[in-house]
Structure 1
Amino acid sequence: MNLMKKIPGGQIIVPMLLAMIVNTILPSFQEIGGSTAALFQKGSQAMMGLFLITCGASIKIKEAGVPLYKGSVLLVLKLVLGGAAGWLANDLLGIYGAFGLTPFALFCALPSNNSSLYVALCDKYGDDSDKGAVSVLALKNGPFGSMLIMGMSGVAHIPATDMIGTLIPILIGFVWGNLDENFRTLCLNSQPLVIIFQSFAIGASSSLHTLWSAGFSGVLLGIVSLVLGIMIQFAYRFFLRKKSPLGVSMGTVAANSALTPSIIASADPVFHSMVSTVSAQCAAASIVTMVICPFLVSFFNRQIIKTQGANPAAGAPVSPENE
């Protein structure tokens, strides 16, 4: 656990890597049968359902006003621009993309963002209204955002029942979490455990060879996501009275986006052969964006200060000497 805490996205990266190592050395281990196979190889769907419940429980209905406004703007910008990037790549390059990077990878990674890093950046560059926006942004946690834009763009054939089936656990967590604070706390405490074993089950379907082949394209996916974050930053500033550098934080890729490909492939088997590679690419992109994004936020914060000056009011950019 200490090792996973030290590594960015470690609760996903470490179990996934461990599963790839096991599958490379002992490929028949997960197929031993019984509870072992059910947990380590076939349990991905059930654990994703649990993960979506924990995501739903993190959404607070009490967050209204400015937090709701900011979260909604960021959510729409992220989904629209992220979906447009995936659709454009699919239209111009086809399903197999270029440089090892497929439109499927874009659709899985770009709608997500690292909520933990966003909250941490809010402590330095934002205020309580920025931090409260994360409750709205939680709506795109997991595969729902990716499934929505892929289905609407016609890139994937996702039945309405699969969309509803993905939304139901989120709604259960949302309702229960808002009615019972103890349940919300339980979900927050349980989420790491669910993610760890979910990540192992995803990694068990691939090997170290897959990870090696996804290295360059995973970094490239991270760069594409950061560019998207910069685009969101320029658009986001038009919706705010007090300018904020936090729009660029939407350029991160959530570590849990590595869990999305398998869920989409279960709805549309066309993408089944890409799951292991895209999962590894999303994991790599999450690390790249987590490392670089804080520097971009700091840069845009300085640009805002140059244009409007430092303001001691809450939510204003912090002065360079305090960074």
Structure 2
Amino acid sequence: MNGTRKTRFPMFATMQRIPGGLMLIPLILGSLIGTFAPGTLEIGSFTTALFSDGALPLIALLIFATGTQVDIRSGAAGVAGHTVVVLVFKTLIPAGLVVLLGTQVGIDGFWGISILALITCFANSNGGLWLAFAGQYGDERDRGAYIASAFDDGPFLVLLFIGASGLGDVPLITLVAAVVPFLLGVLVGNVDQDWRKAVEPVPNIVIPFFAFALGAGINIKDIATGGFAGLFIGAGVVLFTGGLLYLAYRFILKRGPKSGIGFAAGTTAGNAVATPAIVVAADSSFEPYLDSAIAQVAAAVLVTALLAPTVAAFVLRREGGLQASTPRPLVEEGVA
């Protein structure tokens, strides 16, 4: 015996092979059980605590763990410039335009797509996908711009834009409370590398569980109906936010044939599915849109994960920038 045993049913590996699968598959399973057998999750004790009521504490842990992975020492001039450009053109400008739209049409949105769903999708990005793509075709500046996803990862910017715009009533203390776990994580991760390494696996551990708990509160019909709108939102995220960053890469950062990398940022991260619930916890006026927003965001996660790298690779190939690069590590091995 060599101490290892072959996996008979590779559930985890299967979920990882599907874009956004760690979030989407448990979400759908939770929705199925919540729709057709809701009583099974309400028997009390640890079962209810984990599978029905456990979403927010697990999301908070994920936000803390995300903060620990931000290395504030990697802020060289080139990296800082790329990070600011990515954050502004991928997240801040699109989110600002969604808020402007909301002031005109109201939080109901249009065509069954609420402002809650739109701002959640547009004010968030899949840092893992960006890092994988930029690591293959970009250089140290592109890899370092991953830091931008640490700022738009989670609910803080969404709460900030909603509160500052007047679209919702988000108290200042709620904004502070939303960002404390992230800032604490940044502090802990930068003063203690062992903590950074210890919590690095947290996303893979908690995402399936809080996704299931979120799904348990969604009627499966909402996923079916919301999915079509989510496809539309996802395509918009890729083409609009990715397109903005492509233009910024070409005309501001002057990256020439490598400008197509910008499209790889046109994504919505899997953990964005949790953001609508956090917004509703801060302002109950958004509650009527919660189920449809979660379903639409979940669909957008899948669409952007598939479409963004495809479009980025197409543009790079067309402009002669698809050659893979071998950049030097941005930070020490085992730290990033």
TM-score when normalising by structure 1: 0.91
Cα distance in 2, alignment partners of residues 224 and 35 from structure 1: 41
Please state if 1:181 is matched with 2:196.
no
Q: 1:241 aligns with which of 240, 243, 254?
A: 254
- Contact 2:134/2:142 (CA < 8 Å) preserved in 1? yes
Cα distance in 2, alignment partners of residues 93 and 227 from structure 1: 22
Counterpart for residue 283 of structure 2: 268
Change (3 A) 1:14 1:312: closer
Query: Root-mean-square deviation (CA), in Å?
Result: 2.1
Counterpart for residue 10 of structure 1: 21
Give the letter aligned to residue 49 of structure 2: A
Counterpart for residue 52 of structure 2: 41
Cα distance in 2, alignment partners of residues 247 and 55 from structure 1: 23
Counterpart for residue 116 of structure 1: 128
Cα distance in 2, alignment partners of residues 178 and 312 from structure 1: 29
- Contact 2:267/2:308 (CA < 8 Å) preserved in 1? yes
The Cα offsets for residues 244-288 of structure 1, whole Å up to 9 and x where unpaired, read as 322222211111110100001100101112222111111111111
Counterpart for residue 320 of structure 1: none
1:311 Cα deviation after fit: 11
Cα distance in 2, alignment partners of residues 313 and 177 from structure 1: 27
The Cα offsets for residues 207-261 of structure 1, whole Å up to 9 and x where unpaired, read as 2111111121010110111122212321332321333322222211111110100
Cα distance in 1, alignment partners of residues 148 and 235 from structure 2: 25
Percent identity over paired residues? 30
Cα distance in 2, alignment partners of residues 119 and 100 from structure 1: 33
Please state if 1:230 is matched with 2:268.
no
Cα distance in 1, alignment partners of residues 325 and 138 from structure 2: 12
- Contact 2:235/2:307 (CA < 8 Å) preserved in 1? no
Cα distance in 1, alignment partners of residues 236 and 124 from structure 2: 13
Give the letter aligned to residue 152 of structure 1: A
Give the letter aligned to residue 53 of structure 1: F
Cα distance in 2, alignment partners of residues 13 and 312 from structure 1: 32
- Contact 1:246/1:297 (CA < 8 Å) preserved in 2? yes
Change (3 A) 1:311 1:131: closer
Counterpart for residue 332 of structure 2: none
Cα distance in 1, alignment partners of residues 184 and 68 from structure 2: 8
Give the letter aligned to residue 190 of structure 1: V
Cα distance in 1, alignment partners of residues 145 and 186 from structure 2: 16
Cα distance in 1, alignment partners of residues 267 and 94 from structure 2: 12
Question: Mind listing any 5+ residue stretches in structure 2 that lack a counterpart?
Answer: 1-11, 329-336
Give the letter aligned to residue 3 of structure 1: T
- Contact 1:12/1:256 (CA < 8 Å) preserved in 2? yes
Cα distance in 2, alignment partners of residues 195 and 103 from structure 1: 24
Please state if 1:251 is matched with 2:263.
no
